[in-house]
Structure 1
Amino acid sequence: MPSIKYKNKSIHYLINKPKTKDKGNRGLVLIHGSGENLNVWNHQFNELEININLITIDLPSHGNSEYFNPEIISLELYVDVIKKLKNDLNLEGLILGGHSLGGAIAQSYYLSYPEDLLGLILISTGGRLRVSPRILKTIKTDFEQFLDTISIAAFHRNTPDDVINPYIEEISRVNPEIIHRDFEICDNFDILDKVGEINIPCLILVGKADKLTPVKYQRYFDQHIKHSKLTIIDAAGHSVMLEKPSKINGEIESFINKNF
């Protein structure tokens, strides 16, 4: 199981190398959201046809990565982990794709290390991410209720159970304190005044029925990021990469092949 070391702990990742070696050793790194793990990208990891390295990662305390004390988990730490991944794999140019919290990490990485990035893929995210106080409370006081809420909030109403149930099962295995910290990071995230500084190609993807990061969040990106392309996915909610994988993959492939 491939991993890097960060603060003497293992961080799990997966990599698909292109059939034809990429001279620049570039990479598309996909970053999951709150309480998730790299399995949310299975359709992308197994099905995308792109000419660069494709990498998915379990953030600290998620999936098969080692556990970190919630008190030290921060947006800055997550960004630092992606930087360490980039350096350890000797990637010479990054495209960062992020879902929800992962999108906040991708944006923050750009603001810290713009020279590293070739492009961004922002999926179901925003320049500001507010979380309902009720959700923050139920994570700690009634975790089962939280899981029930997410099963409704994160998906379009017509999403089949065989998509929703495995997702909820994965989240149920994560320490609630870590999930709470993830959502706190989202709730405190606000770079609306800096979104216009993003000056690289940016693909923006959102489900038309997204309840957690609604379409207006993505329209803000499209209005303020110079080199952006917004695609709104019909009959999809917050978890578009799971709900409409073929559509998402087509958009990503087109974006990569056109720009890189």
Structure 2
Amino acid sequence: MQTTEKTPFVFFQGKTPFNPEKPSLLFIHGAGLDGRFWKLQMEGLYPAANCFAITLPGRGASPLPACSSVADQASHIAAFLDHMKIEKPFICGISMGGAIVLNLLAENSACFSGGIIINSGARLRVNPGIFEMVEKDFKNFKDLQIQLSISPSTPADTIKPLLDAASIDNPDTITKDFRACDGFDIMDRLHRITAPVLILTASDDQLSPVKYGHYLKEHISGSLMECIEGAGHLSPLETPEAVNQAILHFISSPE
């Protein structure tokens, strides 16, 4: 994990030096996670793109408090891109990260080569019981999280080490993440998105079902949609090859 000198930005960078001839690809994690979530994508895609995986405020080495809205999270991403002078990147986000991508694209599509929305939606309501569980029974919340987030066909013992490595144990930050999700609603602004968009859903996603992806497809002009079979909400960890191949094809295709 890296921080840029005298800045609040915490991020991972691909294995090779920045190459202006390659597309740039920024990954944005979901609620309760950090940039390490994208380890398998960073390893699989760095030969084809300048890869960055940012960690949002309120976790790890970040000196900033967690954001309580998707709009504030998006502002942090925009400031990072400006600081790093990354022009016209592709941005990829899962769940809450997908909401951030949608917000950024709706505000200024011209700044981006395209967006990849993974297992997310135009509105993300959170069950009130989740907030109570995070506050009063954090251990059971963590156990329930993995049960609900993977496909029945995915062995939990293969995913748990990867998820644990990218998970945070700060209930206050996790609560703010879920508050940001719960307050997110971009349904009336999807028509403003003009950048190319790839929507990745997962056949066994219980948290952001495939119908969320269909709604995005219907309301974002020219968007593409692909369903990853045999995966749940954590498809980038469950089926990394399929997810990486879909991303690679999208960022390599001419507009």
TM (norm. structure 2) is 0.91
For the aligned residue pairs, the C-alpha RMSD in angstroms reads: 2.2
Deviation at 1:237, TM superposition (A): 0.6
Q: Deviations over 1:151-201 (max 9, x none)?
A: 111111121233332245346642111001101111110111111221111
Deviation at 1:146, TM superposition (A): 0.8
Identity %: 31
Deviation at 1:20, TM superposition (A): 8.8
SS at match of 2:253: helix
SS at match of 1:259: coil
Deviation at 1:37, TM superposition (A): 1.2
1:192 aligns with 2:190: no
Aligned equivalents of 1:10, 1:202: Cα separation in 2: 29
1:32 aligns with 2:29: yes
Of 197, 200, 221, the match for 1:202: 197
Alignment-derived partner of residue 3 in structure 1: 3
Of 60, 65, 86, the match for 2:61: 65
The verdict on how the C-alpha distance between 1:54 and 1:66 changes in structure 2, with shifts beyond 3 A counting, is same
Do the aligned partners of 1:49 and 1:253 also contact (CA within 8 Å) in 2? no
Q: Which runs of 5+ in 1 are unaligned?
A: none
Aligned equivalents of 2:157, 2:217: Cα separation in 1: 33
Of 178, 187, 195, the match for 1:183: 178
1:12 aligns with 2:7: no
The verdict on how the C-alpha distance between 1:99 and 1:20 changes in structure 2, with shifts beyond 3 A counting, is closer
The verdict on how the C-alpha distance between 1:205 and 1:50 changes in structure 2, with shifts beyond 3 A counting, is farther
Deviation at 1:223, TM superposition (A): 1.1
Q: Number of residues paired by the alignment?
A: 255
| Residue type of the alignment partner of 1:106 | V
Q: Deviations over 1:55-79 (max 9, x none)?
A: 11111123x3325334x54323211
| Residue type of the alignment partner of 1:68 | L
Aligned equivalents of 2:87, 2:165: Cα separation in 1: 32
The verdict on how the C-alpha distance between 1:18 and 1:255 changes in structure 2, with shifts beyond 3 A counting, is farther
The verdict on how the C-alpha distance between 1:26 and 1:255 changes in structure 2, with shifts beyond 3 A counting, is closer
